[in-house]
Structure 1
Amino acid sequence: MKHKILFGALSMLLVANAPAPEYDIVIRGGRVLDGAGNPWVRADVAVKDGKVVRIGQIPGHGTKEIDAKGRYVSPGFIDMMDQSGRVLLKSGAAENKLRMGVTTVIAGEGGPPAAAAEIPAYFQTLEKQGISVNYGTYYSSTQARMKVMGDGAGSPTPAQLEEMGREVKIAMENGAFGISSALIYAPSSFQKTSDLVSLAKVAAQCDGFYATHMRDESEGLVQAIEEAIEIGEKGGVKVEIFHLKAAFAPGWGKLMPQAVATINAARARGVDVAADLYPYTAGGTGLEIIAPSWVWADGLQKGIERLRDPKVRERMKKEVAAGSMPGWSNLVHASGGFANVRLANGFSKKYERFHGKSLAEIGATLNIDPADAAWDIALEGLPNRSVALYFMMSEQDIETALKQPWVSIGSDAAASVNLGEVDALGLPHPRAYGTFPRIIAEYVKRRPVLSLEDAVRKMTGWPAQRMGLTDRGLIRDGMRADIVIFDLDKLDDGATWEKPTALPTGIDTVIVNGVVTLDGGKHTGARAGAVLRHACRAQS
Structure 2
Amino acid sequence: MQVDSNQAARRCDTLIRDVSVIDGSGGAPISADVAVAAGRIVRIAAAGSLGDWQAQHQVDGRGKVLSPGFIDVHTHDDTNVIRTPAMLPKLSQGVTTVVVGNCGISAAPVSLKGEPPDPMNLLGQTGAFSYPTFASYVEAIEQAQPAVNVAALVGHTALRSNQMDRLDRAATESEIAAMCAQLREALAHGALGLSTGLAYGNAINAPTAEVLALAAPLADAGALYATHLRSEFADILEAMDEAFRIGKHARVPVVISHLKCAGVDNWGRSGEVLAALEQAQRYQPVGCDCYPYTASSSTLDLKQVTDTIDIMVTWSTPHPEMGGKMLAAIAAEWQVDLMEAARRLQPAGAVYHNMQAEDVNRILSHPASVVGSDGLPNDPMPHPRLWGAFPRVLGYYSREQKLFPLTTAIRKMTGLSAERFGLSERGLVREGYWADLVLFDPETVRDAATFADPMQPADGIDAVWVNGVLSYRGGAEKAASEVRAGRFLARQERV
TM-score of the aligned structures, taking structure 1 as reference length: 0.82
Q: Give the aligned partner of residue 6 of structure 1.
A: none
Q: Give the aligned partner of residue 244 of structure 1.
A: 259
* 1:89-121 CA-partner distances (Å, limit 9, x unpaired): 212100110011000000102123434862222
Q: Give the aligned partner of residue 208 of structure 2.
A: 193
Q: Give the aligned partner of residue 492 of structure 1.
A: 446
2:154 pairs with 1:142? no
Q: Give the aligned partner of residue 63 of structure 2.
A: 70
Relative to structure 2, which stretch is displaced further, 42-51 or 115-124? Answer: 115-124
2:288 pairs with 1:275? yes
Q: Which amino acid aligns with 1:509?
A: A
Q: Is the 8 A contact 2:375 2:382 kept in 1?
A: no
2:287 pairs with 1:285? no
Alignment RMSD: 1.9
CA deviation after TM superposition for structure 1 residue 355, in Å: 3.5
Mapping of residues 420-435 of structure 1, within 5 Å? 423-435=377-389
Cα distance in 2 for partners of 1:225, 1:508 equals 40
Q: Give the aligned partner of residue 529 of structure 1.
A: 486
Match of 1:229 among 235, 244, 253: 244
Q: Is the 8 A contact 1:30 1:72 kept in 2?
A: yes
* 1:154-195 CA-partner distances (Å, limit 9, x unpaired): 223333322222221111112110011111112211211111
2:366 pairs with 1:373? no
Q: Give the aligned partner of residue 29 of structure 2.
A: 40
Relative to structure 2, which stretch is displaced further, 85-94 or 452-461? Answer: 85-94
* 1:220-260 CA-partner distances (Å, limit 9, x unpaired): 1111111111110111111111111100212211x211110
Q: Which amino acid aligns with 1:361?
A: A
CA deviation after TM superposition for structure 1 residue 41, in Å: 0.5
Q: Give the aligned partner of residue 316 of structure 2.
A: 346
Q: Which amino acid aligns with 2:185?
A: I
Match of 2:276 among 234, 246, 262: 262
Q: Which amino acid aligns with 2:481?
A: T
Structure with higher Rg: it is 1
Structure 2: state its 5+ residue gaps.
1-7, 111-130
Q: Which amino acid aligns with 1:340?
A: D
Q: Secondary structure at the match of 1:478?
A: coil
Q: Give the aligned partner of residue 157 of structure 1.
A: 172
Structure 1: state its 5+ residue gaps.
1-18, 291-329, 379-384, 415-422
Relative to structure 2, which stretch is displaced further, 257-266 or 357-366? Answer: 357-366
Q: Give the aligned partner of residue 360 of structure 2.
A: 398
Cα distance in 2 for partners of 1:399, 1:344 equals 26
Q: Give the aligned partner of residue 483 of structure 1.
A: 437
Q: Is the 8 A contact 2:134 2:185 kept in 1?
A: no
Q: Give the aligned partner of residue 109 of structure 2.
A: 114
Q: Give the aligned partner of residue 356 of structure 1.
A: 324
Cα distance in 1 for partners of 2:337, 2:85 equals 42
Cα distance in 2 for partners of 1:202, 1:376 equals 42
Q: Is the helix fraction higher in 1 or 2?
A: 1
CA deviation after TM superposition for structure 1 residue 427, in Å: 4.3
Q: Is the 8 A contact 1:206 1:535 kept in 2?
A: no
Q: Is the 8 A contact 2:384 2:450 kept in 1?
A: yes
Q: Secondary structure at the match of 2:330?
A: helix
Q: Give the aligned partner of residue 462 of structure 2.
A: 508
Q: Is the 8 A contact 2:291 2:364 kept in 1?
A: no
Q: Residues 351, 171 of structure 1: CA spacing in aligned structure 2 closer, same or farther, 3 A cutoff?
A: closer
2:370 pairs with 1:408? yes
Mapping of residues 81-100 of structure 1, within 5 Å? 81-100=74-93
* 1:443-472 CA-partner distances (Å, limit 9, x unpaired): 111101111000000000000011111210
Give the share of equivalent positions with the same residue, in percent. 33
CA deviation after TM superposition for structure 1 residue 525, in Å: 1.2
CA deviation after TM superposition for structure 1 residue 20, in Å: 9.0
Cα distance in 2 for partners of 1:427, 1:412 equals 14
Q: Is the 8 A contact 2:109 2:158 kept in 1?
A: no
Cα distance in 2 for partners of 1:260, 1:347 equals 38
CA deviation after TM superposition for structure 1 residue 47, in Å: 0.4
Q: Which amino acid aligns with 1:369?
A: D
Q: Is the 8 A contact 2:310 2:353 kept in 1?
A: yes
Q: Is the 8 A contact 2:193 2:218 kept in 1?
A: yes
Mapping of residues 8-47 of structure 1, within 5 Å? 22-47=11-36
Q: Secondary structure at the match of 1:465?
A: helix
Q: Which amino acid aligns with 1:475?
A: V
Q: Is the 8 A contact 1:112 1:137 kept in 2?
A: no
Q: Secondary structure at the match of 2:445?
A: coil
The aligned length equals 458
Cα distance in 2 for partners of 1:145, 1:219 equals 27
Q: Is the 8 A contact 2:323 2:381 kept in 1?
A: no
Cα distance in 1 for partners of 2:171, 2:136 equals 29
Q: Is the 8 A contact 2:259 2:288 kept in 1?
A: yes
Q: Give the aligned partner of residue 4 of structure 2.
A: none
Structure 1's consecutive aligned runs of 4 or more residues displaced over 6 angstroms after TM superposition are none
* 1:25-63 CA-partner distances (Å, limit 9, x unpaired): 100111000100011100000001110010012131211
Q: Which amino acid aligns with 1:517?
A: S
* 1:347-374 CA-partner distances (Å, limit 9, x unpaired): 45x552x443322222112111221111
Q: Residues 409, 465 of structure 1: CA spacing in aligned structure 2 closer, same or farther, 3 A cutoff?
A: same
Cα distance in 2 for partners of 1:121, 1:148 equals 18
Q: Residues 363, 135 of structure 1: CA spacing in aligned structure 2 closer, same or farther, 3 A cutoff?
A: same
2:181 pairs with 1:211? no
Q: Give the aligned partner of residue 101 of structure 1.
A: 94
Q: Is the 8 A contact 1:438 1:493 kept in 2?
A: yes
